Amino acid sequence: MSLLNVSNLDVEYQTKEGPIKAVSDVSFSIEENERFGLVGESGCGKSTIAKSILRLLPDNGSITGGEITLDGVDLVGMDEKALNEIRWAEISFISQSAMNALDPVYSIGHQIVEAIRTHEDTSEAAAKERAADLVEMVGLERARVDSYPHQLSGGMRQRAMIAMALALQPGLIIADEPTTALDVITQDHILEEIDTLLKTLGSSLFIITHDISVVAETCDKVGVMYGGELVETGPIEKVFVEPEHPYTLGLLNAFPTIEGGQEELITMPGQPPDLHDPPTGCRFYERCPYREPRCAEEAPPLTERGDGQRAACFVSEEEPIRDRYQDVVDKEEVWLKL
Amino acid sequence: MAETLMEVRGLKKHYPVDTGLLKKLRGEQRRVHAVDGVDFDIRKGEILGLAGESGCGKTTTGKCLTHLVEVTDGTMTFGDDRIDIAGLSGPELKAYRRRAQIIFQDPFESINDRFTIRKWVGEPLKIHGIVPEEGFEAKISNCLEQSGLTPAAEYLDRFPHELSGGQRQRIAIARALVLDPEFIVADEPTSMLDVSVRAGLLRVFKKLVEEQGVTVLYISHDLSLLRYVCDRIGIMYQGELAEIGDSDAVLQDPKHPYTQALVSAVPRSDPLTKRERVRIPSEVVDRYGGIEGCSFKDRCPYRFERCEEKPRLVAMDGPVEQRVACHLYDDAVEETMDDIEPDFEEKKTFDIV
């Protein structure tokens, strides 16, 4: 049994312009000790999935279909009291902005102690000692337990949040753009620390980011989202090396790398679909250089591509997209021809 | 070698932190040395990248060069007429503003949503009292198309709020172009945009340079991105220039210990490559006043006695330009990088608490 199982998840937001289907029919699972990364551009639904798992959707959002289970226990129908028991203890959350997540009027130590004592029957002193250990573990001085969030730099706050997320050694840590606001050297330290800590604790990671290279280095598996749907998923070394969905290929083409190789970045013209009224066929149809007439009529399902890779594309099901236009696939013209 | 458009010498910008009158009178006012003695040239028709971590002074440098802030010290000699823009005011400043434009990071904050696109892009013409040869409408349309908003007629009467972030940033570029500037400072113009949109904007900048000979100072923290857009790149640290030169040389074979650490910290997108990390301490504390000696010495794994003195920028031998502010490359200093046993941060291991 998987640690986390998301199946056929649908999420809607109510807006003035009518309902938005932010997430449509998304299924994936995370095993114990596994790191799963979800990538995609703004509005693709990746953060909504994290919020759905944590049951932290805003008031206008609701899960309209599908199941989410953690260790076999249903999360969608769980009441608030039961949820509070598993939050921090079994699932914890690292958000992009630690400033918004930490309470400005309490010291870091106080907040960690509170999280520990809500879930465990420990003395104040013992919890405080553990808070100091945690703070030290994430690379801060022990004395920082007495600091308030405003006394810390952005990187230090992010570390404090990680300390808090690890306090109860949860099986699953969800991180939504955990290092996006940080400088590259700080980001590197924090990602390395998360890596070491996950190994030590044996926890799983679900990380959401727009930064492909962070996922490439941190995760075992990746999911690519487009227009509220999961269009491709599988092991990193498959999806990022031999992408089977044209959108994944487009994303990799547009992503700058420091190590060189390709000399030009290639854009994908066009815009993601309007989720008030998503198209019936493939949602990437309008922007796809490989599209065929049937792609407009029928939505392609995720199908097996070997070694655990799955993609939702009719065209690549027949032959790998890279082979199809081998000489031109990395050229801008192919994408701009549309 | 291309001609120089701007010569920056000894540029300094210090901001007072304690603005209270009492501290001012007592002379206890602390100052942040945002830019602290920077020398570099910007060549005509190039894209020069300026990179570094937050607080390194790259944005302040851009603001100095466009005269959005008064500089504390230094000269910035601009154009064929070699005017020092540091001392400009009144009509001369207005004339300079026509020639140099800045594009900001946030396309949602920097555009007035109450103006139609025609009015917003055309406004600088009105302010400067310019009547373009081809007429207002044609000029505005032209600039929109150069920014990649085609056909321009579809955009002229729309309001900015109807557009996406990428399109808004193109509007900002069009507005900068309408005055036919020689020089554009772009301060993180794509950092708020999605990757697929970003590449298109980079191409707009490249085209401007290639087709119209505009010179661009491109400020960004994203080294991978700068590799695609810049001819040369400067790396700033604590208000000073650590390294500058040909962008491939600086990014593929960094010399300054700071540049080495910075480049090694960038995650790689190819899952089949493993990178070597150069570990240095991660945080810098807020600093007031100037720094004695090398500004990087507290984090530098190669620190030695000489670092108490300020290093000068020295040129590396080689076919392309690469200059480094580190004693280890200075011929006048005996030690080289091979002579020093670097003191890298240790990788941490943990016991379960």
Domain ranges in chain A?
A: 4-219, 239-337
Domains along chain B?
Answer: 4-230 (3.40.50.300), 260-350 (no CATH)
With CB atoms and an 8 Å threshold, state whether B53 touches A184. yes
What is the band of A324 on the pLDDT scale with cuts at 50, 70, 90?
low
In B, which residues are within 8 Å of A266 by CB distance? 199
CA distance A67 to chain B (A): 30
With CB atoms and an 8 Å threshold, state whether B272 touches A237. yes
Find the mean pLDDT for residues A292-308: 94
Query: What does the alpha-carbon distance between residue B126 and residue B251 come to, in Å, rounded to a whole number?
Result: 43
With CB atoms and an 8 Å threshold, state whether B194 touches A210. yes
Prediction ipTM score: 0.88
With CB atoms and an 8 Å threshold, state whether A267 touches B196. yes
In B, which residues are within 8 Å of A214 by CB distance? 267
Give me the pLDDT at residue A201, please: 87
In B, which residues are within 8 Å of A210 by CB distance? 194-195
What's the start-to-end Cα distance of chain B, in Å? 61
Give me the pLDDT at residue B5, please: 97
Percent of the residues in chain A that have a pLDDT greater than 90, as a whole number = 61
Q: Which candidate in A226, A253, A265, A309 is best for mutational testing of the B interface (most B CBs within 10 A)? A: A265
What is the band of A155 on the pLDDT scale with cuts at 50, 70, 90?
confident
Q: Of A184, A210, A255, which has the smallest distance from its Cβ to B266's Cβ?
A: A184
The answer to whether residue A200 scores a pLDDT higher than 80 is yes
The pLDDT tens digits for A253-299 are 888 888 765 567 888 888 889 999 999 999 999 988 888 999 999 99
Give me the pLDDT at residue A335, please: 55
Q: What is the pTM of this model?
A: 0.91
The pLDDT tens digits for A54-79 are 999 999 999 999 999 999 999 999 99
Give me the pLDDT at residue A11, please: 97
User: Who contacts A152 (Cβ-Cβ below 8 Å, separation ≥6)?
Assistant: A108, A144, A160
**Residue A15: CB atoms within 10 Å:** 11
Give me the pLDDT at residue B194, please: 87
Give me the pLDDT at residue A337, please: 44
Rg over CA atoms, chain A = 21
What is the band of A336 on the pLDDT scale with cuts at 50, 70, 90?
low
Find the mean pLDDT for residues B222-236: 94
Give me the pLDDT at residue B103, please: 95
The answer to whether residue B247 scores a pLDDT higher than 70 is yes
Query: What does the alpha-carbon distance between residue B333 and residue B312 come to, in Å, rounded to a whole number?
Result: 11
Query: What does the alpha-carbon distance between residue A223 and residue A309 come to, in Å, rounded to a whole number?
Result: 10
The count of residues in chain B is 353
In A, which residues are within 8 Å of B264 by CB distance? 188
The pLDDT tens digits for B311-338 are 999 999 999 999 999 999 999 999 888 8
User: Who contacts A123 (Cβ-Cβ below 8 Å, separation ≥6)?
Assistant: none
Greater confidence, B292 or B218?
Answer: B218
Give me the pLDDT at residue B285, please: 63
Give me the pLDDT at residue B349, please: 58
Q: Nearest chain A residue to B200 by CA: give it.
A: A267
The answer to whether residue A326 scores a pLDDT higher than 50 is no
Give me the pLDDT at residue B353, please: 43
Contact between B316 and A166 under an 8 Å Cβ cutoff? The reply is: no
- CATH superfamily, region A4-219: P-loop containing nucleotide triphosphate hydrolases (3.40.50.300)
Find the mean pLDDT for residues A208-218: 94
- Provide φ and ψ at B322, rounded to 5°: -155, 115
Find the mean pLDDT for residues B29-47: 93
Least confident of A96-105, A292-301, B212-221: A96-105
The answer to whether residue B352 scores a pLDDT higher than 60 is no
Greater confidence, A259 or A225?
Answer: A225
The answer to whether residue B30 scores a pLDDT higher than 70 is yes
Q: Of B195, B227, B350, which has the smallest distance from its Cβ to A210's Cβ?
A: B195
Q: Nearest chain B residue to A166 by CA: give it.
A: B353
The answer to whether residue A321 scores a pLDDT higher than 80 is no
